[in-house]
Structures are given as C-alpha cells and as structure tokens.
C-alpha cells in the first residue's frame, strides 16, 4: 500500500484529505507542521508528500527546501503543495524546489485525486 504524508496545521483539512486518500486505498500519515514532518521522515519513507504552505513552526516551502537538502535523490518523494495564499514568487520557489504540483485551497477533490495518481505513477 502506498504511503502518503499529509502536512497541514488545520486538523479538519487533514482529516478531509485523509478520508479522500484512504478511499483510494492509500495509507495516510498526518502531521501538523513541517518540523513534525521532518522528524517523521528521519525514520520513515513516504511515496508522496502533500503539504500546506502556511503553517506555524516551519512553512511548507521551508519544509520542502529542507527535505530536498537531506533526501537521497534515488528516494525523492514527489510533493504536492496546497495553499490558498501563494504569490508568484512563492510558486517559482516551489517549482525550483521540484514540487510536482501546486494546488489552490480549497481544492477540487477530483483534480486533487488526479494529481495524486499522477504523482504516484511517477
């Protein structure tokens, strides 16, 4: 079963996305910010990372920069960035960091699932 790491400080958003992903037979691990996600990734592997951007402790973009610095290129997990507040500079930064997709919040679940499937097919 494919494992998805969900990173979002909004518990309701995490739970909704988790339900959608689990309906597709994906195993979801939920954490509340980028710092918690880095701790989890230190001892686990995700097939896909889905992260919000605006979070306390470590923003989504800062979290992505950190995982890209420390990840073995052979094991790079695709990242989908979700946010309702990304300016063009942030979007460029995300693309430069190799983000697979940038989706607006609130997201269309059909579009979201399409991106998830594409990212997991790699």
CATH number of the domain residue 31 falls in: 3.40.50.2300
Q: Supply the pLDDT for residue 69.
A: 80
The full length of the chain comes to 122
Q: Supply the pLDDT for residue 73.
A: 56
What contacts 88, CB < 8 A, 6 or more positions away? none
Both tokens of residue 121? 């097919």
Which domain covers residue 55, as residue numbers? 3-121
Q: What is the mean pLDDT of each run of 10 residues along the chain (122 residues)?
A: 96 93 96 94 94 92 88 75 89 93 88 95 81
Q: Supply the pLDDT for residue 75.
A: 58
Q: Supply the pLDDT for residue 119.
A: 97
CA 36 to chain centre: 13
Total tally of structural domains belonging to the chain: 1
The alpha-helical segments, DSSP class H, found in 1-122 are 11-22, 34-41, 60-70, 88-96, 109-121
The pTM assigned to this predicted structure is: 0.93
């Amino acid at each position: 079963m494919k494992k998805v790491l969900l990173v979002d400080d909004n518990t309701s958003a995490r739970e909704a996305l988790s339900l959608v992903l689990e309906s597709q037979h994906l195993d979801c691990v939920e954490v509340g910010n980028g710092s918690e996600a880095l701790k989890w990734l230190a001892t686990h592997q995700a097939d896909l990372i889905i992260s919000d951007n605006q979070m306390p402790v470590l923003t989504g973009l800062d979290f992505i920069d950190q995982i890209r610095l420390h990840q073995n290129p052979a094991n790079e997990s695709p990242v989908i960035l979700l946010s309702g507040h990304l300016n063009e500079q942030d979007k460029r930064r995300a693309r430069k960091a190799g983000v697979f997709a940038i989706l607006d919040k609130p997201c269309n679940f059909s579009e979201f699932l399409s991106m998830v499937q594409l990212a997991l097919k790699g």
